[in-house]
């Protein structure tokens, strides 16, 4: 094991990080100075001695990954010192509108900042616990790609993932879930530094967090190390990280005792957690540190120089790696082509041709089953698919026959090249891990549970959407159609929750072609997560459905001229709408039917197309076996569930709530009569005074 | 410590429970036979020897509480044997429509089953991990009420809480959060039996759950016991529970090794987890157990007799307790009156008079601050309020000055009579614990975090609503108005998510009187949880607001005749709407403003009232600094956020998105022009063809 060689500039660099963090937060008059000030030593030791990154190429594939789970200004300060494209002016714009330095590190979101910001954070942190889960995902991805692509003498994929975390993250359930799975998966490439500063917002952790964290992580199967003086014992910090790197079959937690807000008059109290330091406190601190007390945002030349050396080392490491990759291309041309394709994120040519296509005469099937058929067809052509379920594999139908489990080889249950992850009953952890897997690159993760329990993972789904992580949720048993399990398992509010989330494609396909369309669009959307809301019960294939039409998010399923009524529906209720329309047509009430499998995608179509689908002239009635909330955007009248579902065989539950062809025909007639009586022209709800 | 005295009927009773569970699931052709068959011995030992309940009075206040966290048919079988009002026909109707025996135990929900079902389950289980959290809440409630009401010689409140849990629950993060807090709180009255059967839906727990559960619970500060043969070693089961009862300052986890589906040909495999047993398997099992192989739903007389004895013991215990309560009434008449009032759930007379009332000339304040003022006024008159925050006390403003922490006295930080719980950063656990606290009775829990992070607790909030638990969420920082923390912390989809959840009152008050109204209705709604969505930033008091008007969920804030436009808004945007209306009025465009602080309550008002508020005649424009989803139910046009928020000082963020009086006036004018051009009468969106 190597050892720590002190450099003259170490202390001044650490003091500089501390002072910069204080300056940044004070200038913004908002933020969290305490944690970056406390973690400056470990950040400095890690980056100056152990971390392999090249600031000139933030996307170098084999770089070490760094996640600041307790997301704060530390990330920005480090990026600036290291020479990433983040200027001192950017630091001064911390928490200001449209700056590169928002309140918490964002992997990128609106306003085209998506790519622009991607060097700042490849995962979004701030919401506690998410970064920890992302770190586990990054480590999973490394282990998987190493197993798939590395060859003897060609350790092309061998980076480490470092996560900094605090008390807050460790209290969160999502962290517990991810940590337990990381232990099971024996992820030796994952090193977590726990900032044990005894302080959270409510004060001393003694008020609520008195568990034995070391023992807890031992119970998960982690290696646990500790550094008693994280404020100044740099060799101990170095040795702990170096030791962690040597442990190949366990993730490591390093418990680092630090003093929050080190150097401040209020150090060690929650007074420095989430409020700026006062001016006199900062001055005194700088004097104590030997920095000019009157200069803000000051970086001594020795620090810039030391950090430039880190960059040089990283550039040289990348150059060596590129040379190795070049040799690999000669010895393993096929693998090389595949690896570089996957790194680029390009899908293989003609992969879409593997999508199943259905005729209306094909047998009715549950859309969860149609999803299984799609995955089975796609898996051979899309090896970047890395699937999994939260202990509902046989219900979600997400494991492709013959696929190998992603497991530590020592378990005898699979290996790291395996493409199916047993997540256990850990929905929230699964979501956060999947975000990390996608953030690594080269992999498209899909994950699964009942739609109702995607809500357990809402925090992670939100960050998929905000960060643009292409995670595909296979969310089965998506309505009262699940039947007997009853209201505790039947989604009501779930669809509108996720339909209202920006940059999330919530698909509720009605049949085979629509399911294929959902996969088509989800797989092509590199920066948008998707939820595929799928039925437990069988659904007939529609006459008019095609992948192409469904891929527009909405289309006409049953067309007539001069209609008296349009019924718009989604998922398992579309065929019920078709049945109702047939009954109405038979009674001389001409009825169109529209399927709207994905609002997000439909809303992106040209206004002209949308108005041709949901056209003016006749009232539009929406039908879905869920809350009607949100449907008034697309319809004049809404039929759905008034409250909770019910436990019972699903056909009986549908009957109970009047979601049958014959009752919807009755309701449809009511709507037609109502609008006849009302008189005047009926205008499409899509005709609006303005667009947001 | 007492010891186990075997009875002749023990084995036949256990076999009967196993066979009944198998019959129940097979008859329904749906359900989970394995766990009840495996846990029959512990259920029998617990109920026959140790559990204090009176089936003739399911609501006896000091009964032991039982939570089947891995919710399944076992609960129903036990209730029937014990003589609760659950007939053999009810068992035969398992998982059938409108039966008393739905797929998972429901505390009750729609169709007036609320009270009817309350004996079957006072907490709803099935969604994994929730029951565990509820159990912690039940134990918190017992400890609190004991500290408040017990007197020397009067241990009126001294019951235990027993939780049965499985691997699935223990994998969930919500369980980790609740378990860590239970250890911190030293809840000696909580006994959890962990059905360690090595099986979950994906098969052997070796595939995903290999952590050391005993060590993990030791790390939380629990006592951990184990029973190696939970299939037949009844004395060991008894001794473990008896020992658990003796430990007064730690919760206990008993790891019970069982064989899932004990007796089935498929015992010990996931084949018995979630699928009915085959007919021949059940017959063979009954033969093996010495039960008549050809009889379904058979209970031997010896078992009915043994269980009748349990009931008698319970009735006698309750009678003793009533006698003690009677003596207490003589010695402590004031405390007795208060205890019985709180048990009844009646609020004290005239408590509403403590609600703060505001004039429009009162200073602008943040609604989180207005909430603090309300809580400060209410706490002295409503001692049943037991508050807390997920480590955001100083931001949520939820701790009433001078209140004592709910803490184990040994910590020196408070005592169990304290009314403020430090939940730590454990939102989901907090929600599940609060459900348990309310289920106990005598307490109204309120909990707090940022609105955005209520989403972490969505699973628990859903069960509050489904079960009718009166939990009040103080959800602050409820929009882009939180400013600098940015999009990771700014809710977009959160309001519509919870507004679409049945039986949940989501309040977004606009000022002081509306905040008081939200508390008024939330506190009076005994079977409905509420989320109070509150601002970080200051809000002026409206001229027209009164508690009475706001308590209707919606009302006119600014009235004019023959308006050209109505703006409907909620929360922090109402005053911006008023500003816009003033500008429009000045330009001769007569504009009304409606405040809609609570859709759930507004929707319950008579149609006539609702139509007077959102009337026909002019277009209605909605305004909210959130997703516009759902607002088309109340308006013709919708203004809000098109996607994510942004990090920056909040005024700048509002400007960026055009949510200012002057821009909304411009938008309002566009709407008026658009409808003028469109021509024809403008009908209120509340005028519908049918009501669900």
For A476-510, the pLDDT digits (tens) are 999 999 999 999 999 999 999 999 999 999 999 99
Given this model, what pLDDT does residue B1 score?
65
The reply to whether residue B392 touches residue A206, judged by beta carbons under 8 angstroms, is no
Among residues B666, B573, B682, the alpha carbon closest in space to that of B628 is found at B573
Q: Report the residue of B102, B171, B422 to disrupt the A interface, i.e. the one with the largest count of A CBs within 10 Å.
A: B171
CB-based contact, A466 to chain B, within 8 Å = yes
Query: Which positions 382-441 of B are in contact with A (Cβ < 8 Å)?
Result: 389, 391-395, 405, 407, 411, 413, 422-429
Given this model, what pLDDT does residue B122 score?
76
From the centroid of its chain, how far is CA B521?
17
Given this model, what pLDDT does residue A73 score?
85
Binding residue numbers of A for substrate: 32, 273, 368, 395, 477, 485, 489, 536
The reply to whether residue A126 touches residue B488, judged by beta carbons under 8 angstroms, is yes
Residues of chain A neighbouring B423 (CB-CB closer than 8 A): 208
Q: Is the pLDDT of residue B2 over 90?
A: no
CB-based contact, B128 to chain A, within 8 Å = yes
Picking from B426, B484, B501, the nearest residue to A172 by CB comes out as: B426
B-chain residue closest to A649, CA distance: B96
Query: Which positions 501-560 of B are in contact with A (Cβ < 8 Å)?
Result: 501-503
* Identified catalytic residue from B384, B427, B624, B637: B427
Contact between B485 and B647 (Cβ < 8 Å): yes
Alpha-carbon distance A328 to nearest alpha carbon in chain B (angstroms): 34
Give the pLDDT band of residue B124 (cuts 50, 70, 90).
confident
Distance between CA atoms of residues B576 and B536, nearest Å: 16
User: Across A612-664, where does the E strand assignment appear?
Assistant: 620-623, 637-639
Q: Which two tokens stand for residue B55?
A: 């089936």
Q: Report the residue of A208, A413, A616 to disrupt the B interface, i.e. the one with the largest count of B CBs within 10 Å.
A: A208
Contact between B52 and B317 (Cβ < 8 Å): yes
Work out the percent of chain A whose per-residue pLDDT is above 70.
98
Per residue in A517-551, pLDDT (tens digit) is 999 999 999 999 999 999 999 999 999 999 999 99
Q: Is the pLDDT of residue A326 over 50?
A: yes
Q: What is the CA radius of gyration of chain B?
A: 28
Which of these ranges, A102-111, A366-375, B360-369, B570-579, has the smallest mean pLDDT? A102-111
Residues of chain B neighbouring A487 (CB-CB closer than 8 A): 102, 106, 109-110, 466
Per residue in A8-65, pLDDT (tens digit) is 999 999 999 999 999 999 999 998 999 999 999 999 999 999 999 999 998 899 999 9
Q: Is the pLDDT of residue B269 over 70?
A: yes
Given this model, what pLDDT does residue A108 score?
59
Given this model, what pLDDT does residue B109 score?
43
Given this model, what pLDDT does residue B108 score?
60
Per residue in B631-670, pLDDT (tens digit) is 999 999 999 999 999 999 999 999 999 999 999 999 999 9
ipTM given for this complex: 0.97
In degrees and rounded to multiples of 5, residue B65 shows phi and psi of: -100, 140
Given this model, what pLDDT does residue B111 score?
36
The reply to whether residue A493 touches residue B485, judged by beta carbons under 8 angstroms, is no
* Mean pLDDT taken over chain A: 95
Distance between CA atoms of residues A440 and A192, nearest Å: 17
The reply to whether residue A456 touches residue B425, judged by beta carbons under 8 angstroms, is no
Residues contacting residue A241 through CB under 8 Å, at least 6 positions apart: A45, A46, A50, A191, A193, A254
Per residue in A200-224, pLDDT (tens digit) is 889 999 999 999 999 999 999 999 9
A339 to each of A329, A384, B373, how far by Cα in Å?
A: 10, 10, 61
Distance between CA atoms of residues A240 and A455, nearest Å: 38
Per residue in B50-82, pLDDT (tens digit) is 999 999 998 899 999 999 987 678 989 999 999
Binding residue numbers of A: 32, 126-128, 167-168, 197, 199, 273, 368, 395, 453, 477, 485, 489, 536
DSSP characters for B275-308? SPPPHHHHHHHHHHHTS-TT-SS---HHHHHHHH
Helix axes B130-149, B427-440, angle to 10 degrees: 50
Alpha-carbon distance A467 to nearest alpha carbon in chain B (angstroms): 10
Residues of chain B neighbouring A681 (CB-CB closer than 8 A): 680
Picking from A30, A487, A496, the nearest residue to B106 by CB comes out as: A487
Given this model, what pLDDT does residue A567 score?
98
Contact between A124 and A68 (Cβ < 8 Å): no
Distance between CA atoms of residues B27 and B295, nearest Å: 13
Per residue in B78-118, pLDDT (tens digit) is 999 999 989 999 999 999 998 889 888 887 643 334 343 44
Opening angle at CA B102, ends B101 and B104, nearest 5: 110
3-state secondary structure at position A242: helix
Distance between CA atoms of residues B361 and B373, nearest Å: 17
A-chain residue closest to B127, CA distance: A488
Alpha-carbon distance B180 to nearest alpha carbon in chain A (angstroms): 6
Give the bridge partners for B636, in sequence order.
none
Residues contacting residue B662 through CB under 8 Å, at least 6 positions apart: B580, B583
**Average of per-residue pLDDT across A594-611:** 98
Contact between B494 and B455 (Cβ < 8 Å): yes
Given this model, what pLDDT does residue B120 score?
61
The reply to whether residue B173 touches residue A172, judged by beta carbons under 8 angstroms, is yes
Give the bridge partners for A639, in sequence order.
A623
Q: Which two tokens stand for residue A80?
A: 């600036």
Q: What is the CA radius of gyration of chain A?
A: 28
Opening angle at CA B453, ends B449 and B454, nearest 5: 75
Q: Is the pLDDT of residue A116 over 60?
A: no
Residues of chain B neighbouring A618 (CB-CB closer than 8 A): none
Q: Which two tokens stand for residue B254?
A: 């008993």
Picking from B175, B391, B502, the nearest residue to A208 by CB comes out as: B391
Q: Report the residue of B646, B651, B664 to disrupt the A interface, i.e. the one with the largest count of A CBs within 10 Å.
A: B646
List the helix and strand counts (H, then E) for chain B.
Answer: 26, 20
Distance between CA atoms of residues B314 and B322, nearest Å: 12
The reply to whether residue A680 touches residue B680, judged by beta carbons under 8 angstroms, is yes
Residues of chain B neighbouring A458 (CB-CB closer than 8 A): 455-456, 458, 497
* Mean pLDDT taken over chain B: 95
Residues of chain B neighbouring A649 (CB-CB closer than 8 A): 96-97
Contact between B270 and B278 (Cβ < 8 Å): no
Ordered structural domains, chain B, with CATH = 9-317 (3.40.50.970), 351-539 (3.40.50.970), 551-678 (3.40.50.920)
Q: Is the pLDDT of residue A431 over 70?
A: yes
Given this model, what pLDDT does residue B69 score?
87
Terminal Cα-to-Cα distance of chain B (whole angstroms)? 59
Give the bridge partners for B566, in sequence order.
B592, B620
Given this model, what pLDDT does residue B656 score?
97
Distance between CA atoms of residues B454 and A56, nearest Å: 40
**Average of per-residue pLDDT across A401-426:** 98
B-chain residue closest to A669, CA distance: B689
B-chain residue closest to A423, CA distance: B208
From the centroid of its chain, how far is CA A422?
18
Given this model, what pLDDT does residue A216 score?
98
Per residue in B375-393, pLDDT (tens digit) is 999 999 999 999 999 999 9
Per residue in A234-268, pLDDT (tens digit) is 999 999 999 999 999 999 999 999 999 999 999 99
Distance between CA atoms of residues B641 and B619, nearest Å: 20
Alpha-carbon distance A635 to nearest alpha carbon in chain B (angstroms): 10
Query: Which positions 618-637 of A are in contact with B (Cβ < 8 Å)?
Result: 619, 627-630, 632-633, 636-637
Work out the percent of chain B whose per-residue pLDDT is above 70.
98
DSSP characters for B173-238? HHHHHHHHHHHHTT-TTEEEEEEE-SEETTEEGGGT--S-HHHHHHHTT-EEEEES-TTT-HHHHH
Residue with tokens 């010689």: B153
Give the pLDDT band of residue B123 (cuts 50, 70, 90).
confident
Residues of chain B neighbouring A629 (CB-CB closer than 8 A): 496, 499-500, 629-630, 633
Q: Which two tokens stand for residue B594?
A: 């409606």
CB-based contact, A588 to chain B, within 8 Å = no
Give the pLDDT band of residue B437 (cuts 50, 70, 90).
very high
Please indicate whether residue B551 or residue A69 has the higher confidence score (pLDDT). B551
How many A/B residue pairs have CB atoms within 8 Å? 424
Given this model, what pLDDT does residue A113 score?
43
Q: Is the pLDDT of residue A168 over 70?
A: yes
Give the bridge partners for A191, in sequence order.
A162, A252
Contact between B421 and A202 (Cβ < 8 Å): no
Distance between CA atoms of residues B626 and B493, nearest Å: 7
CB-based contact, A676 to chain B, within 8 Å = no
Give catalytic residue positions of A.
427
B679 to each of A607, B615, B672, B683, how far by Cα in Å?
A: 22, 17, 11, 12
Distance between CA atoms of residues A216 and A43, nearest Å: 25
Binding residue numbers of B for Mg(2+): 167, 197, 199
Residues of chain B neighbouring A224 (CB-CB closer than 8 A): none
Residues of chain B neighbouring A211 (CB-CB closer than 8 A): 180, 183-184, 219-221
The reply to whether residue A642 touches residue B213, judged by beta carbons under 8 angstroms, is no
CB-based contact, B32 to chain A, within 8 Å = no
Active site residue B172: no
The reply to whether residue B391 touches residue A670, judged by beta carbons under 8 angstroms, is no
Given this model, what pLDDT does residue A274 score?
85
Given this model, what pLDDT does residue B179 score?
98
Residues of chain A neighbouring B427 (CB-CB closer than 8 A): 172
């Amino acid at each position: 094991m190597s050892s720590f060689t002190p450099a003259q500039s170490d202390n001044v660099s650490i003091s500089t990080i501390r002072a910069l963090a204080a300056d940044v937060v004070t200038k913004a008059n908002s933020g969290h100075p305490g944690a970056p000030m406390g973690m400056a030593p470990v950040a400095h030791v890690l980056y100056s001695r152990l971390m392999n990154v090249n600031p000139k190429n933030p996307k170098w594939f084999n770089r070490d990954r760094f996640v600041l789970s307790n997301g704060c200004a530390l990330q920005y300060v480090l990026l600036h010192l290291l020479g990433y494209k983040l200027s001192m002016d950017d630091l001064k714009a911390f928490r200001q509108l449209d700056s590169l330095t928002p309140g918490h590190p964002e992997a990128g979101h609106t306003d085209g900042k998506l790519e622009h910001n991607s060097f700042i954070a490849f995962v979004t942190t701030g919401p506690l616990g998410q970064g920890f889960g992302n770190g586990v995902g990054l480590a999973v991805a490394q282990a998987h790609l190493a197993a798939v692509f590395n060859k003897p003498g060609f350790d092309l994929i061998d980076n480490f993932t470092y996560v900094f975390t605090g008390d807050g993250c460790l209290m969160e359930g999502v962290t517990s879930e991810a940590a337990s799975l990381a232990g099971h998966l024996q992820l030796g490439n994952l090193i977590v530094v726990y900032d044990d500063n005894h302080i959270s917002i409510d004060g001393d952790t003694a008020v609520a967090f008195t568990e034995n964290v070391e023992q807890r992580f031992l119970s998960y199967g982690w290696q646990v190390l500790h550094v008693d003086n994280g404020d100044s014992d740099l060799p101990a910090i170095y040795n702990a990280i170096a030791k962690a790197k040597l442990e190949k079959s366990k993730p490591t937690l390093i418990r680092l005792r630090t003093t929050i807000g080190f150097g401040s008059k209020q150090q060690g109290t929650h007074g420095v957690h989430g409020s700026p330091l006062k001016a006199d406190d900062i001055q005194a601190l700088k004097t104590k540190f030997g920095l000019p007390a009157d200069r803000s945002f000051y970086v001594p030349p020795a620090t810039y120089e030391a950090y430039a050396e880190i960059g040089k080392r990283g550039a040289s490491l990348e150059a060596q790696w590129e040379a190795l990759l070049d040799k690999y291309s000669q010895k393993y041309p096929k693998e090389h082509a595949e690896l570089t394709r996957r790194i680029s994120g390009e899908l293989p040519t003609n992969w879409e041709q593997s999508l199943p296509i259905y005729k209306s005469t094909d047998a009715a099937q549950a859309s969860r089953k149609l999803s299984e058929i799609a995955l089975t067809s796609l898996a051979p052509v899309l090896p970047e698919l890395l699937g999994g379920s939260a202990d509902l594999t046989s219900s979600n139908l997400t494991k492709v026959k013959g696929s190998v489990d992603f497991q530590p080889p020592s378990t005898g249950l699979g290996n790291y090249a395996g493409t199916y992850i047993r997540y256990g009953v850990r929905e929230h952890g699964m979501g956060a891990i999947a975000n990390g897997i996608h953030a690594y690159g080269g992999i498209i993760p899909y994950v699964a549970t009942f739609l109702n329990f995607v809500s357990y993972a809402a925090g992670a789904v939100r960050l998929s959407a905000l960060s643009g992580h292409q995670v595909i949720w296979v969310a089965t048993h998506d309505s009262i159609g699940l039947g007997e399990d009853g209201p505790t398992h039947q989604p009501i509010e779930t669809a509108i929750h996720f339909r209202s989330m920006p940059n999330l494609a919530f698909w509720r396909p009605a049949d085979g072609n629509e399911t294929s369309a959902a996969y088509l669009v989800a797989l092509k959307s590199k920066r948008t997560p998707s939820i595929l809301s799928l039925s437990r019960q069988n659904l007939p294939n529609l006459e008019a459905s095609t992948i192409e039409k469904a891929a527009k998010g909405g289309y006409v399923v049953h067309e007539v001229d001069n209609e008296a009524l349009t019924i718009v529906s989604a998922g398992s209720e579309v065929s019920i709408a078709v049945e109702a329309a047939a009954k109405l047509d038979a009674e001389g009430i001409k009825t169109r039917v529209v399927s709207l499998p994905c609002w997000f995608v439909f809303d992106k179509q040209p206004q002209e197309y949308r108005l041709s689908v949901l056209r003016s002239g006749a009232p539009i009635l929406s039908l879905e076996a869920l809350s009607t909330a949100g449907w008034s955007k697309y319809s004049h009248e809404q039929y759905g569930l008034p409250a909770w579902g019910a436990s019972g065989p699903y056909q009986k539950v549908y009957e109970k709530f009047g979601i049958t062809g014959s009752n919807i025909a009755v309701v449809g007639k009511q709507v037609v009569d109502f609008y006849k009586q009302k008189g005047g022209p009926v205008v499409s709800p899509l005709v609006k005074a303005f667009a947001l």
